Chains A and B, each alone.
Chain A
């Protein structure tokens, strides 16, 4: 089952416009982040239509492959170039995220844009996603994690699993 809250998947979609006169047409490749194949194809045509004079009616998808995670156990810093529509106009953004996978970072980006700018998924366009070296990161939130002697407490720890004490006489302690 596909869940909206699940992580996006990365698809590599290759398509081209059909030609009526059997002449060679250019082939276009796109990197699409979508929850499933159907949305991926749809977004492919949406972007291609904006960039080139092709429509789904006049084109065909040659190949769609699911891009799997190259190194799911290595922490990476991702720079994501976004274009989004706010209530009063369209803006470009560069955002950084720290994650284990590209799809994880892009999913984070969507959630973050929704939270910070109330931008819905349909108004967000992911222009570029790139792994950024630690030294080249710009955002202080990401840079603060680039510390080999990093230390931080987990304050006000609320343990969700603690079902045995829903009603208690005294306020439980959240100190670790």
Chain B
């Protein structure tokens, strides 16, 4: 049983949620269940799934209760939120939600950071120039 994220516009409200692949229907579809992420058990096309490296030990076609137990025992939601993938998704989401004021604040924060970096860089560059001479 592999955990995967759902990532398409087709299943709009379930987009980006974590589900576990409980069984395989045929070459194109899987039976998925996401008891800990609010997704009901359903059949879904593999094209709408992105496999994650997390797995939970459940028997094929295990019931939702068993899936939930194994999920919570393996702490999948916690491990997922700590992964770089999830963090990237979260930051992408946040960036798309920024208001104009937020973007202004972001610009100013980037400016401040780059100033510090460039000052240090300038110091190093001048030191290197002096060392050359």
Chain A residues with a Cβ under 8 A of chain B = 72-75, 98-100, 104, 145, 148, 150, 152, 154, 159-161, 176
Q: Is the CB of B25 within 8 A of A98?
A: yes
Tell me the complex Cα distance, A34–B43, Å.
22
Known contacts A73-B42, A145-B24, A152-B27; can you find 18 more A-B pairs with CB under 8 A?
A73-B33, A75-B23, A75-B25, A75-B31, A75-B61, A98-B25, A98-B26, A99-B25, A100-B25, A100-B43, A104-B43, A145-B25, A145-B26, A148-B60, A150-B24, A160-B8, A161-B7, A161-B8
Q: Is the interface of B mostly helix, strand, loop or mixed?
A: mixed
* Chain B, range 13-50, C-beta contacts under 8 Å to A: 23-27, 31, 33, 41-43, 46-47
Whole-angstrom distance from the CB of A22 to the nearest CB of chain B? 51
Residues of A within 8 A of B23 (CB): 75
Whole-angstrom distance from the CB of B124 to the nearest CB of chain A? 34
Q: Which residue of B lies closest to A99 (CB)?
A: B25
Residues of A within 8 A of B31 (CB): 73, 75, 100
User: What are 13 pairs between A and B in contact, CB < 8 Å?
Assistant: A72-B42, A73-B31, A74-B61, A75-B25, A98-B25, A99-B25, A99-B43, A100-B43, A145-B24, A145-B25, A148-B60, A159-B47, A160-B8
Q: Is the CB of A154 within 8 A of B43?
A: no
Interface size on B, residues (CB 8 A): 18
Q: Is the CB of A154 within 8 A of B42?
A: no
Tell me the complex Cα distance, A92–B41, Å.
36
Contact with A along B45-70 (1 / 0, CB 8 A): 01100010000000011000000000
Q: Which 9 A-B pairs have the closest CB atoms?
A: A73-B41, A100-B43, A98-B26, A75-B25, A161-B8, A75-B23, A98-B25, A148-B60, A75-B31
Q: Is the CB of B9 within 8 A of A161?
A: yes
Residues of B within 8 A of A154 (CB): 46
Residues of A within 8 A of B7 (CB): 161
Residues of A within 8 A of B24 (CB): 145, 150
Q: Which residue of A lies closest to B63 (CB)?
A: A73
Q: Is the CB of A160 within 8 A of B61?
A: no
Residues of A within 8 A of B46 (CB): 154
Residues of A within 8 A of B61 (CB): 74-75
Whole-angstrom distance from the CB of A108 to the nearest CB of chain B? 9
Whole-angstrom distance from the CB of B17 to the nearest CB of chain A? 15
Whole-angstrom distance from the CB of B48 to the nearest CB of chain A? 9
Tell me the complex Cα distance, A145–B24, Å.
7
